[in-house]
Each structure stands twice: as C-alpha cells, then as structure tokens.
C-alpha cells in the first residue's frame, strides 16, 4: 500500500469517483460501526494496495477514536507506520494514547520509552499524563507533571484539566484550587473545560457561592465565552443543591446559547427539567428537539422516556414509546427496558412480560438488564423460584459483558434456600453465580453450611471447597462443618 505524503488537497471533489467511493473512512464504515465489521474491512484494506493520503489516515483515526474503536485504530496507525508514514510528534502522542486504551498503561509507558528524545516534548508527555489521569493513577500523574516542569516543558490547559479531573474523580476536589492558582501564576489560558471542572470541584465542596464566583470571573476575564455546556454544568450543580429557581435561570441561559441546536443540549435540558420535576418544560423542550431533529434518534427517545418514567408520567411514556416504536428502524432493547421497568415498578407484570415478548418478536432479544428488572420484581414480591431463573438468564446472556448479581441478591437467595432447607437449590444457584462472580463472601458459604445442617445432609466435599475458595468461616460454622462433614 503506497503512501502519498501530500498536503490535504484543497478540492477533494476533483479526485476520481473511484477514489471517493473507496476512500478509507468510507470503506471502513460501509458495513456499520461495530468493531467486528470495522476489523473485517480494515483487514481487507491492509491486504490491498490502494493509495491513501496521510491526512485521510488522520481523519479515519479521529473517527475511530471518537467511536472508541481503539484496537482497529491502533492497528491502522501501526500498519501505516510500517509502510512508511512519517509520524509527527502529534501523531506519536495520539499513538501513545491508542496504545494505552488498547493494550494498557504499561504498554503505553514502554512506547514512550522507545520514542526518540526529540519526540519527548509537551505533546507526548501530556498524552502520557492524560493516560495516568484516565487510569486514576494519582502518584504517577503528579510525578510526571513535576517532571514536565523540571524539563521546562510548556504545560497546557489540557494537561492541567486532566489533573483536576483526576482530583475530582478520586475525591480530592480541595486540590483543584492549587492547580487553578498555578495556572494563573504561569499565565496558562483557561478554556471552557477548565472553568467547568473548577466549578464541579467547588460544588463537591458545597461551595455554591464559589461556583458563582467562577462564572463571574469567566465573564469578567472574557477569555472564554460560556457555551451551553458551561450552563448545563451550572444548572446541574444548582439542581443537585435543590436551588431550582437558579437552575431554571441557568437552563434559560443554556437554551439561549444553543444556537447550533445541538442534540446533547436538548437532552441535557430534558434531563435537568425532569430532575426538577418540571413536566411542562420537559414536554416543551421535547417539542423543540423534535422540530430540530424530525428524524429523532433512538438515544433521544431513550432519554425522554427515562425522564417521563422517573416523573411517574406512565401514559406520557407509553405514548412516546408507541411513537418511537412505529417509526424506528432498529428496535432498541434499552428503550423497551425503560418501559418494562416502569411497568414492573407499578406491579404491572403482565404488561411488562407482553412488552418483552413484543420486543423479542421485533428482533430485540432480552439482555441482562431485562432479566435484572424481572429479578428485582420477583424479589420484591417474594417469588424466589422465578428470581433464581432470572439470575441464570442474566448470567448466561451477560457472560460477554460480565453481568453479575449483587452480593445482596446472592445473600437474599441463599437465605431463602436455608429457610427452605434446599441444599440442591443452593448448590445449583452457587454454580450459576460462580460463572459470573470471581470471589464469594464467606457469609455465602456459611449459609450453605447452615443449609446442609438444617436439612440434615452430610457433605464429603465442603471442607475441600472452602480450602479451594480460600474461605475462612466463623467458629460457629466450623462446628457445623464438623457435624456435616464425612471423612
């Protein structure tokens, strides 16, 4: 595959139709955006010898990263390097990020070490710093930041933003203030994200007046014009603090700044008005969204139906669902699950089951979340046998995504088996659970021992099982274990 390292042509349309039809990003996404189809198309492309522009590789990598398709993106990046594409330092920083996401932080560190010294500037250091922050590796991130300062590398707002986000995620919002002061002292220009993460840190410290001072400072400095994301952030903080009047004003500011009519802005407004309990505004914004996006995406219906069910507007949720169902091209089980959950919450099991079957007939098989909804319903109603069946189905479906029952659910069902003196049921249930859960609490095995004792059953395997699982039981259970064990 030859590589043409030309600058991006000013008029792409002048290239041949054959080239445009076979453009790299079109080729990769022509069968959809699933990782499987992308991998298939990428492998076919690599085996061919079609010419490709360097800028086009960059555009394709950007699209793949945006969709979190990190493994195919890394493969493309590595292949093009092998075939002669000269990587700029910016390309190397992006490659380092892909290595971290696809192969882990250790692989990213190894890649960083192999870079020539000339490449180890603020871009690659900043990329590694961001990787540490994403992985919540506080010590490593702080050490690397200090190293960048020692080397007199310029530390950008992006790097500082990553560190501040790390502090908020790890429960250290009080450290953000020092970072802000450091940025000011170093004359690092703030961006919209800087102000947003600063506001969030102050909100975590219950300093609402501090949040308002940040907004005032942003307006006064004039470096950043607050966009809709700034005001959605502010509105969310006010809603969390139950300052609904101020939240309403922030949402009005948000709406004024949504001049490009971005979908996410509408969805934030619907969610936040919903959290405020303002059903009238939820419907008003929904009408605006529908006007702006006549071909309304599944994600928008999902957000709206979730909001309506949380507001206990079941008739409205049903109407919205029927509207979506009548025009959807892909039947999304996530949307059906929201209404199934609402029915189950209201005790309308028959309607929930009917909708599950309707979804199945439309090609949307129940997923682990579907069975989790029915599991919760059966447990609330003391219906243990169907609850156990739901756990088995959820574990089976969720094996790829690793669905697992919570420790509380496991304990509840094991307690039921103990009460019923049902040793076989308890053992079968634990076999199911062990397919999803790596380790079980000692209390679970203690319950099993008590179940054996209550049923008057003996075991030749229990002692060995406890040793295999490396479980230490209480003294009381050790006595029962002696009673039920067969030498």
In this predicted model, what pLDDT tens digit does every residue of 286-337 receive, in sequence order?
999 999 999 999 999 999 999 999 999 999 999 999 999 999 988 999 999 9
Q: What is the signed CA dihedral for 231, 237, 241, 246, rounded to 10 degrees?
A: -10
Look at the block and give the residue holding tokens 């979804």: 359
Place of tokens 């039947």: 331
Contact between 124 and 96 (Cβ < 8 Å)? yes
Domains present along the chain, CATH in parentheses:
54-155 (1.25.40.10)
Q: CB of 313 within 8 A of CB of 305?
A: no
pLDDT the model gives residue 224: 84
- Alpha-carbon distance of 403 to 486, in angstroms, equals 36
In 13-129 the beta strands, taken as DSSP E runs, fall at: 52-53
Let me know how long the chain is.
Answer: 487
Read off the tokens for 37.
Answer: 């189809």
Share of the chain above pLDDT 70, in %: 94
pLDDT recorded at residue 307:
98
* Average pLDDT taken over every residue of the chain: 90
pLDDT average, residue stretch 27-48: 79
CA 126 – CA 247 distance, rounded (Å): 35
The band of 48, judged by pLDDT with boundaries at 50, 70 and 90, is confident
Q: Does 411 have pLDDT greater than 50? A: yes
pLDDT, tens digit, for every residue of 232-241? 999 999 999 9
Q: How confident is the model at residue 273 (pLDDT cuts 50, 70, 90)?
A: very high
pLDDT digits (tens, 9 = 90+) for 63-112: 898 888 999 889 888 888 887 778 889 999 999 999 999 999 999 999 99
Task: Provide the pLDDT for residue 453.
Answer: 93
pLDDT of 403 > 70? The answer is yes
Pick the closest to residue 228 from 202, 199, 262, 195 (CA basis).
262
> pLDDT category, 39, cuts 50, 70, 90?
confident
Cα dihedral 342, 344, 349, 355 in deg (nearest 10): 40
pLDDT in the model for residue 49: 65
Q: What is the pLDDT of residue 221?
A: 85
The alpha carbons of the chain give a radius of gyration, in whole angstroms, of 28
Question: How many whole angstroms separate alpha carbon 48 and alpha carbon 44?
Answer: 7
| C-alpha–C-alpha distance, residues 161 and 254, integer Å | 23
Instruction: Name the nearest CA neighbour of 208 among 235, 236, 241, 252.
Output: 241
Tens-place pLDDT, residues 115-134: 999 999 999 999 999 999 99
Block residue for tokens 């002696």: 482
pLDDT tens digits, 170-225: 999 999 999 999 999 999 999 999 999 999 999 999 999 999 999 999 999 888 88
146-150, 382-386, 455-459: range with lowest mean pLDDT: 455-459
HSE-up (13 A, CA, CB side) for residue 347:
2
pLDDT band for position 38 (50/70/90)?
Answer: confident
- Structure confidence at residue 13 (pLDDT): 41
pLDDT in the model for residue 399:
54
Query: What's the whole-number mean pLDDT along residues 152-167?
Result: 96
The label of the residue with tokens 């599950």 reads: 356
């Amino acid at each position: 595959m030859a590589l043409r390292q030309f600058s991006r042509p000013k008029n792409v349309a002048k290239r041949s139709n054959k080239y445009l039809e076979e453009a790299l990003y079109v080729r990769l996404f022509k069968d959809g955006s699933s990782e499987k189809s992308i991998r298939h198309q990428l492998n076919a492309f690599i085996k061919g010898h079609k010419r490709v522009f360097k800028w086009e590789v960059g555009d394709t990598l950007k699209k793949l990263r945006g969709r979190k398709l990190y493994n195919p993106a890394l493969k493309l990046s590595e292949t093009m390097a092998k075939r002669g594409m000269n990587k700029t330092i910016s390309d190397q920083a992006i490659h380092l990020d892909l290595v971290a996401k696809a192969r882990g932080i250790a692989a990213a560190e190894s890649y960083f070490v192999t870079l020539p010294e000339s490449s180890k500037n603020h871009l690659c250091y900043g990329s590694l710093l961001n990787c540490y922050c994403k992985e919540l590796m506080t010590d490593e991130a702080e050490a690397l930041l200090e190293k960048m300062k020692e080397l007199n590398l310029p530390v950008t707002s992006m790097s500082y933003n990553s560190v501040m986000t790390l502090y908020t995620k790890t429960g250290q919002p009080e450290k953000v203030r020092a970072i802000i002061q450091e940025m000011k002292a170093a004359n690092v220009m703030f961006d919209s994200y800087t102000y947003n993460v600063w506001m969030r840190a102050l909100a975590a410290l219950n300093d609402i007046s501090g949040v308002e001072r940040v907004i005032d400072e942003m307006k006064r400095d004039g470096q950043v014009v607050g966009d809709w994301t700034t005001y959605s952030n502010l509105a969310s903080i006010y809603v969390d603090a139950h300052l609904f009047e101020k939240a309403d004003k922030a949402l009005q500011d948000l709406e004024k700044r949504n001049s490009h009519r971005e979908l996410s802005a509408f969805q934030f407004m619907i969610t936040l008005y919903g959290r405020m309990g303002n059903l009238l505004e939820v419907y008003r914004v929904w009408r605006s969204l529908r006007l702006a996006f006549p071909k309304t995406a599944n994600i928008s219906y999902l957000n709206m139906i979730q909001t309506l069910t949380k507001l206990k507007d079941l008739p409205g949720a049903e109407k919205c669902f029927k509207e979506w169902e009548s025009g959807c091209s892909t039947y999304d089980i996530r949307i059906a699950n929201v209404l199934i959950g609402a029915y189950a919450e209201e005790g309308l099991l028959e309607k929930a089951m009917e909708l599950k079957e309707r979804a199945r007939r439309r090609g949307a098989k129940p997923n682990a979340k579907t069975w989790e909804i029915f599991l919760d319903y059966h447990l609330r109603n003391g219906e243990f046998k169907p609850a156990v069946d739901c756990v088995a189905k959820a574990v089976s479906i969720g094996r790829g995504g690793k669905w697992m029952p919570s420790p509380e659910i496991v304990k509840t069902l094991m307690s039921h088996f103990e009460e019923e003196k049902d040793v076989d049921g308890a053992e079968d249930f634990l076999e199911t659970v062990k397919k999803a859960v790596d380790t079980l609490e000692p209390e679970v095995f203690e319950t099993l021992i008590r179940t054996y004792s209550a049923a008057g059953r003996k075991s030749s395997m229990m002692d060995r099982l406890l040793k295999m699982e490396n479980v230490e039981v209480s003294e009381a259970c050790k006595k029962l274990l002696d009673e039920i064990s067969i030498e």
